Amino acid sequence: MATVLLVGCPRILYLDYQPSTSLKGRGPIRIDAFTYAGHPTGLMRQKELQSNSWDPEALFLSQNIGDFFAGALKKELALAGYDLLSESTRTASGTIEQFFLEYVDQQEQRFIIQTTFQIDRKDAPPFTTSCRSERQEVKDWMKSGSLIQQGVKGCIDEFIKNAQAAGAL
């Protein structure tokens, strides 16, 4: 019993990402897999958020982080007006380098996401861009999901703006 209390219990977050972009666009696009490079490959490692080594609590998403992120991107692009098609001349994919939640002190928590996006197109060279989003708010484990969603949304919005400016979207 003492070991469990000292080590901490894992916590699972069930996130239902709600898109909210105000950006607009159009055209077909396919979303491929996003790789989560934050942890070595393993059964639960693709679901585990990175955290400080001294944080005793392991935090997991209910699904693979790459799948969650790709789903969030699909929802944001659909809301913006893009057509999600399995057969498209444009395909977006990428790598999530960091998906990090930490307790900054007794009062704050911080979420950091860093992602590299790639759009492959049949009529042009690939387009690559990166984003980094950092959000911080009052420490409340009930609000961790909201904090993660805000960070993911910020990163996706930055990607859409950069891809539109480059003519890739």
Give the contacts of 29 (CB within 8 A, at least 6 positions apart). Answer: 77, 82, 83, 84, 85, 88, 90, 91, 92, 119, 169
Collapsed DSSP state (helix, strand, coil) of residue 8: coil
Q: Can you say whether residue 167 is alpha, beta or left, with left for phi > 0 and alpha for psi between -120 and 50 degrees?
A: left
Can you give the pLDDT at residue 1? Answer: 36
> Could you write out the DSSP letters of every residue in 43-88?
TTTTTBPB--TT----EEESS-HHHHHHHHHHHHHHHHTEEE-SS-
CATH for 53: 3.40.50.10610
Is position 43 within any domain? yes
Is there a domain that residue 116 lies in? yes
Domain of 51, in residue numbers: 10-15+25-165
Residue 4 domain flag: no
Instruction: Give 117: exposed, middle or buried? Use CB within 10 Å, 0-12, 13-18, 19+.
Output: buried
Strand partners, 134: 112
Total number of domains in the chain: 1
What is the mean pLDDT for each group of 10 consecutive residues in the chain (169 residues)?
46 90 96 85 69 69 93 98 95 95 82 96 95 84 84 96 96
pLDDT of residue 3: 37
Q: Is 20 within a domain?
A: no
Q: Position 33: which residue type?
A: A
Q: What is the pLDDT of residue 2?
A: 36
CB atoms under 10 Å from CB of 138, counted, come to: 9
Residue 1 lies in a domain: no
